């Protein structure tokens, strides 16, 4: 047969139990998260490129259109889809949106596709089986094909057909292809079929490597043409094809392109800056390339967009990138191999350590390297880079969760767990060597006030004693897990200035909300439970700087400021205090807030909503006031818990 005539059957494997069509696998209308999809695709390609020994890994995102009839296995897909509809007739209410998208796609003359192509080690039978495996994963170098997203499932919401194609060519020019479609269990010719369909030749009676895939001379012409390009350009590599690509449900293709580039930039900037990774986005209108020359522009473009839904926010990524650019590389030899550390101290930021494995951001929550481990040092931002083939790299990789966004010693065997803990203790020791100590404990600034919200006090169970001498007993004890910028503020205060509230006593002023003018009540919500937080404030002209540390989880924290008029709150009718008016220029951890974060009346803003705060988390908030304060002014801070 000629290449244009080659076709392969999409074989659906059967399971013993039926699953409803309205299952989570199809209810993806609101679950398309482009960040994880792009991140996982690039991570897989980067790992594959390193296995292939590439000095530079190239990942191409190629937008195309394909005639629907030329999709591998499309007739078998249609047949299975119709059978699924018939099997679950009368029980499809919750799946109508997904059904509509599938119907529209399979009836269309053409479908949009996104090809993700790399120059890695390629896919052979073993790696393809590992990729399509049903729950048994492998992190060995020989079997690992990367995950293509949480066991390769992450990319499916980006396909209106929930249908992904795979292909690979190895250095010895052997080709392997497959596909995976997720529909619903169904019945065909009296036989129950499962919800998963795979493009395979047949199956073997084994648990591992059970699938036999189309290979050289048996591959569908579309996939074969993709492998032709890979073989010509790099000799080996892989392609992932997202069929009926939905632009991640973005507003348009331009927005989708920006999402791909910005996600790649912020999660992989060490690899991109070193020249080890190049990402390109190709479409009819032209090619955008992300490399070391364009990295700075791309990573800084969206810094003000703080609500991305990505665990690595744009502002955190930019701050870490600044650390890489502005600080010197320190090569550290640990007991388990080489680690590279970058440190940049800045009083304008909170203490944060970012861990990168193979040039990919993993987490900023490192064991034995919490913020409280660095109390007594000036705030800093640090990068810890761990690359193969060290034992440290293997420990990190084994300890990662399925999303590659956290690490835990609990995922390791006992012996590896001991090594893991030693590794991070050594990292902490080496980070400390490069830090400058804070002088916050050496004096007590006169322009700081420790403010306790109405009705709340710092519980003794939350304190950590760290007295060194009798004089230190007058200092407020350190608080566990307070970030460095907040810790330096808290440690500079004196217990004699701190009057803790009594949560068990009735606050007679609790229901008397202040007003901005006599007899006039603000239109924003005056009620709200006082949050259990500890707050430190500094006043400079018309700017108030707050360091807030929460003792509870808050869905949305609201901040209000009032002038202390000296009235005794125990009076039956105390003098009410006016809210202070904010300018819309507030910053939270250095990032501006959206317009809807301000609350007030008649164009006057009196409350600032700063979003969620988790227990033991700290935030630095800078609030410019409309009017400057007098030198003898005393302010009160009220932090309330809001549901939205």
**Token reading at 304:** 């003000």
Q: Which among 90-104, 318-332, 552-566, 616-630 has the top mean pLDDT? A: 318-332
Order of all β-strands in the sheet with 360-363: 330-334, 337-345, 380-386, 352-357, 360-363
393 Cβ contact partners less than 8 Å away, ≥ 6 residues apart = 337, 357, 358, 386, 387
In this structure, the dihedral spanned by the alpha carbons of residues 405, 609, 453 and 547, taken in order and rounded to 10 degrees, is 50
| Confidence bin at 477 (pLDDT 50/70/90) | very low
- Judge residue 487's burial from the number of C-beta atoms within 10 Å of its C-beta, 0-12 exposed, 13-18 middle, 19 or more buried: buried
- Judge residue 457's burial from the number of C-beta atoms within 10 Å of its C-beta, 0-12 exposed, 13-18 middle, 19 or more buried: middle
The answer on pLDDT for 52 being more than 80 is: yes
Element (H, E) at 324: helix 314-326
| Confidence bin at 31 (pLDDT 50/70/90) | low
Q: Residue 37 in contact with residue 228, Cβ under 8 Å?
A: no
Q: Which among 64-78, 176-190, 449-463, 530-544 has the top mean pLDDT? A: 64-78
Rounded distance between C-alpha atoms, residue 296 and residue 248, angstroms: 25
SS3 336: coil
Q: Residue 225 in contact with residue 53, Cβ under 8 Å?
A: no
Cα 234 to Cα 57, 208, 338: the distances in Å are 10, 30, 30
Cα 561 to Cα 135, 153, 487, 545: the distances in Å are 53, 48, 22, 12
The answer on pLDDT for 53 being more than 80 is: yes
The answer on pLDDT for 205 being more than 90 is: no
- Judge residue 455's burial from the number of C-beta atoms within 10 Å of its C-beta, 0-12 exposed, 13-18 middle, 19 or more buried: middle
Q: What is the pLDDT of residue 384?
A: 97
356 Cβ contact partners less than 8 Å away, ≥ 6 residues apart = 270, 362, 383, 384, 385, 386
Q: What is the pLDDT of residue 631?
A: 59
Q: What is the pLDDT of residue 564?
A: 62
Averaged pLDDT of the chain: 77
- What is the topology classification, in CATH, of domain 314-433? Ribosomal Protein S5; domain 2 (3.30.230)
- Residues 225-276 have pLDDT tens digits of 999 999 999 999 999 999 999 988 776 888 899 999 999 999 999 999 999 9
Q: Residue 170 in contact with residue 121, Cβ under 8 Å?
A: yes
Q: Residue 193 in contact with residue 14, Cβ under 8 Å?
A: yes
Beta bridge partners of 579: 562
Q: What is the pLDDT of residue 262?
A: 92
Q: What is the pLDDT of residue 95?
A: 79
**Token reading at 600:** 């007030």
Q: What is the pLDDT of residue 544?
A: 87
SS3 108: coil
Measured at the alpha carbon of residue 32, what is the angle toward residues 31 and 36, in degrees to the nearest 5?
110
**Token reading at 433:** 């060597």
- What is the topology classification, in CATH, of domain 10-301? Heat Shock Protein 90 (3.30.565)
> Which of 3-17, 97-111, 490-504 is predicted least confidently?
490-504
Percent of the chain whose predicted confidence (pLDDT) is above 90: 35
Measured at the alpha carbon of residue 188, what is the angle toward residues 185 and 190, in degrees to the nearest 5?
105
| Confidence bin at 461 (pLDDT 50/70/90) | very low
Looking at residues 19-28, what average pLDDT do you find?
A: 34
- Residues 363-393 have pLDDT tens digits of 999 999 988 889 889 999 999 999 988 999 9
SS3 415: helix
Q: What is the pLDDT of residue 408?
A: 92
Q: What is the pLDDT of residue 304?
A: 66
Residue ranges covered by each domain of the chain: 10-301, 314-433, 444-642
Looking at residues 61-76, what average pLDDT do you find?
A: 92
Beta bridge partners of 622: 545, 587
| Confidence bin at 417 (pLDDT 50/70/90) | very high
- Residues 583-617 have pLDDT tens digits of 888 999 888 888 888 888 877 888 999 988 988 88
**Token reading at 45:** 């390609």
Percent of the chain whose predicted confidence (pLDDT) is above 70: 73
The answer on pLDDT for 80 being more than 90 is: no
Beta bridge partners of 330: 341
Cα 329 to Cα 195, 283, 326, 383, 432: the distances in Å are 51, 38, 10, 10, 15
| Confidence bin at 420 (pLDDT 50/70/90) | very high
| Eight-state DSSP code of residue 579 | B
For CA atoms 87, 93, 94, 96, give the dihedral sign: positive
Q: What is the DSSP string of 583-597?
A: PS--EETTEE--GGG
Element (H, E) at 175: strand 175-182
> Which of 4-13, 35-44, 68-77, 100-109 is predicted least confidently?
4-13
Looking at residues 408-426, what average pLDDT do you find?
A: 94
Residue from 260, 349, 308, 252 nearest 62 by CA: 260
Rounded distance between C-alpha atoms, residue 343 and residue 219, angstroms: 51
């Amino acid at each position: 047969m000629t290449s244009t005539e080659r076709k392969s059957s999409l074989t659906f494997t059967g399971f013993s139990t039926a699953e409803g069509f309205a299952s989570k696998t199809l209810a993806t209308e609101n679950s398309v998260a482009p960040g994880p999809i792009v991140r996982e695709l690039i991570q897989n390609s980067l790992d594959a490129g390193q296995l292939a020994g590439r000095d530079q890994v190239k990942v191409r995102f190629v937008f195309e259109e394909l005639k629907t009839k030329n999709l591998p296995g499309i007739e078998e897909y249609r047949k299975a889809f119709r059978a699924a509809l018939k099997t679950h007739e009368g029980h499809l209410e919750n799946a109508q949106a997904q059904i509509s998208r599938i119907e529209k796609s399979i009836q269309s003359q053409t479908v949009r596709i996104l090809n993700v192509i790399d120059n890695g080690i390629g896919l052979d039978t073993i790696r393809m089986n590992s990729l399509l495996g049903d729950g048994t994963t492998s992190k060995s170098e020989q079997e690992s094909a990367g995950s293509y997203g949480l066991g390769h499932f992450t990319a499916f919401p980006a396909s209106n057909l929930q249908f992904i194609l795979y292909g690979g060519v190895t250095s010895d020019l052997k080709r392997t292809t497959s596909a995976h479609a997720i529909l619903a269990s169904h019945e065909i010719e009296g036989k129950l079929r499962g919800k998963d369909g795979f493009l395979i030749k047949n199956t073997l009676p084994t648990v591992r490597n059970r699938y036999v895939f189309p290979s050289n001379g048996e591959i569908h012409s579309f996939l074969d043409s993709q492998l032709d390009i890979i073989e010509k350009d790099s000799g080996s590599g892989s392609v992932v094809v997202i069929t009926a690509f939905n632009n991640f449900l973005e507003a348009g293709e331009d927005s989708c392109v920006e999402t791909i580039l910005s996600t790649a930039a912020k999660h992989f900037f060490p690899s991109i800056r070193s020249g080890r990774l190049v990402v390109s986005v190709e479409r009819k209108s032209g090619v955008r390339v992300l490399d070391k020359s364009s990295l700075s522009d791309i990573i800084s473009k969206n810094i003000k967009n703080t609500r991305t839904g990505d665990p690595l926010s744009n502002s955190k990524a930019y701050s870490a990138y600044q650390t890489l650019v502005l600080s010197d590389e320190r090569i550290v030899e640990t007991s388990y191999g080489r680690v590279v550390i970058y440190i940049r101290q800045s009083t304008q930021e909170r203490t944060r350590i970012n861990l990168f494995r193979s040039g990919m951001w993993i987490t900023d929550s490192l064991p034995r390297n919490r913020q409280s481990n660095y109390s007594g040092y000036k705030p800093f931002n640090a990068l810890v880079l761990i690359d193969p083939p060290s034992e440290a790299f293997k420990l990190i990789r084994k300890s990662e969760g399925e999303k590659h966004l956290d690490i835990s010693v609990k995922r390791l065997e006992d012996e590896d767990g001991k090594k893991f803990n030693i590794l991070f203790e050594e990292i902490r020791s080496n980070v400390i060597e490069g830090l400058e100590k804070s002088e916050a404990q050496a004096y007590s600034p006169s322009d700081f006030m420790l403010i306790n919200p109405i009705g709340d006090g710092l519980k003794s169970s939350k304190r950590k004693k760290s007295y060194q001498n009798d004089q230190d007993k007058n200092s407020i004890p350190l608080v566990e897990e307070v970030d460095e910028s907040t810790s330096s503020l808290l440690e500079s205060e004196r217990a004699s200035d701190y009057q803790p509230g009594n949560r068990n006593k009735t606050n007679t002023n609790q229901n008397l909300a202040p007003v901005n003018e006599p007899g006039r009540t603000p239109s924003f919500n005056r009620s709200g439970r006082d949050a259990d937080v500890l707050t430190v404030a500094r006043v400079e002209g018309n700017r108030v700087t707050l360091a807030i540390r929460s003792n509870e989880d808050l869905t949305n924290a609201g901040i209000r400021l009032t002038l202390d008029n000296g009235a005794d709150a125990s009076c039956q009718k105390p003098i009410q205090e006016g809210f202070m008016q904010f300018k819309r220029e507030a910053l939270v951890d250095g990032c501006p807030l959206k317009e809807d974060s301000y609350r007030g009346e008649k164009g006057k803003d009196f409350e600032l909503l700063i979003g969620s705060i988790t227990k033991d988390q700290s935030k630095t908030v800078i609030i410019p006031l409309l009017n400057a304060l007098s030198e003898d002014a005393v302010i009160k801070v009220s932090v309330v818990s809001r549901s939205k």
